[in-house]
Copies of this chain bind each other. A is one copy, B any other.
Amino acid sequence: MPGEGISVALIGTGFMGRAHSHAYRNVASMFPECPRPRLKLICGRDRGRAEALAARFGWEEVSTSWEEAVRHAGVDLVDVSVPGALHAPVSIAAARAGKHVLCEKPLANSLEEARAMLAAVRQAGVRHMVQFNYRRVPAVALARQMLDEGQLGTLYHYRARYLQEWGVHPQVRAPWKLDKEQAGSGALGDLGSHMIDLCRYLAGEIREVTGMTETFVKERQATGGSATVRVTVDDAALFLARLDNGALASFETTRLAPGRKNHNFFEINGSRGSLYFDLERLNELNFYSLDDPPGRRGFRNLLATAPQHPYAASWWPDGHLLGWEHSHTHAIRDFLVAIGQGQLPRPNFEDGVKCQAVLDAVARSVASRRWEAVDG
């Protein structure tokens, strides 16, 4: 029996607040081995919005002060689902209050902040995780398994793209994402951090980078209004990298790719085979093996819904697709299980710092127009 559960304070009522609420509500239903989370408190600046989410998902209490929420005596775990500028203050305050911390990605708006956050959770001795949820898509976790089995041999190439379309539309849904003060950077931090984390998860540490960024659309309309917002972040970022293991890597992200709604793609080439994945078909992993006989080789489309696949057996029979939201449920399941077992999950704040170090090196490279080493 999972015991009395883990009490959660969710800070944030936006898209991620809603997605995490859904995950907390369902995780123990589908994963009975998981400590049952108690939806203790939801916190947002707009009380009406917080109350609405509380009513919908069953949060017991509502707060409009994150400073109070993170210190709430009845709370074990603080979930930080707010714009980037608040990640550090909220997470650090939560850690100091002795709470476990789950923080949305990227960990921070700067490498310094990220390091301070890591120091804080370490000093407090609490558990911590960064919500790089795409590690928990079953097809992605399957890729990790196959790499562990050695199915790809020596790695030569890692190739990542994260392309979205929404930037081409005049009205934008999350204006804070266009403001450097709040978001730190644009596509680079928002989507690039996902690419970097998956590369570190699947292929290895990034040693050095060279990159470029651009802001094509310099003014935008805020959602639902005629107000013009000045854009202070990039809407596209590209960089090349060398991994510690010698593999070459390429990364490209943009918010200006018509038709690519959520194209988080990776491809890995090794001496024995290849893998590729696209978040727009997230139940599928494509695998090519040189171990197949000549003339019988081809990319194999694996539908990652079989009982042998990560997380899948807890849901439905083979062939019944999962969706995007399940990656959040799985990540939260793994964090709760880790807390229950007194373990530190991955990716934790140390991973968050390492990701931030790569983002930092890319930004330095954009300025210097040279290769820059990732600060280890």
Contact = CB atoms under 8 A, between A and B. Distances in A.
A226 to B, nearest CB: 20
Nearest to A237: B248
Given A252-B159, A280-B319, A280-B321, A272 B258 contact: yes
A260 B272 CA distance: 13
A1 to B, nearest CB: 9
Interface string A76-104: 00000000000000000000000000000
Nearest to A22: B29
B306 A302 contact: no
A308 B294 contact: yes
B297 A287 contact: no
Given A262-B319, A262-B320, A26 B22 contact: yes
Interface string A257-292: 111111000010111111000011110001111101
Main SS class of interface, A: mixed
B238 A238 contact: no
A63 interface: no
A210 B259 contact: no
A46 interface: no
A160 to B, nearest CB: 11
A201 interface: no
A218 interface: no
A56 interface: yes
B269 A254 contact: yes
B254 A252 contact: no
Contact of A156 (B159, B161, B216, B288): B216
A109 interface: no
A164 B156 CA distance: 13
A305 interface: yes
A302 B298 contact: yes
A369 B371 contact: yes
A52 B29 CA distance: 10
A324 B317 CA distance: 11
B156 A316 contact: no
A15 B313 CA distance: 12
A297 to B, nearest CB: 7
A257 B236 contact: no
Interface in A1-54: 15, 19, 21-22, 25-26, 28-30, 32, 52
Contacts of A300: 292, 296-301
A262 B165 CA distance: 28
Contacts of A315: 325
Contacts of A294: 306, 308
B302 A240 contact: no
Contact of A295 (B239, B248, B308): B308
- In order of increasing CB-CB distance, the 6 nearest A-B pairs are A261-B319, A295-B308, A262-B319, A259-B288, A323-B323, A320-B324
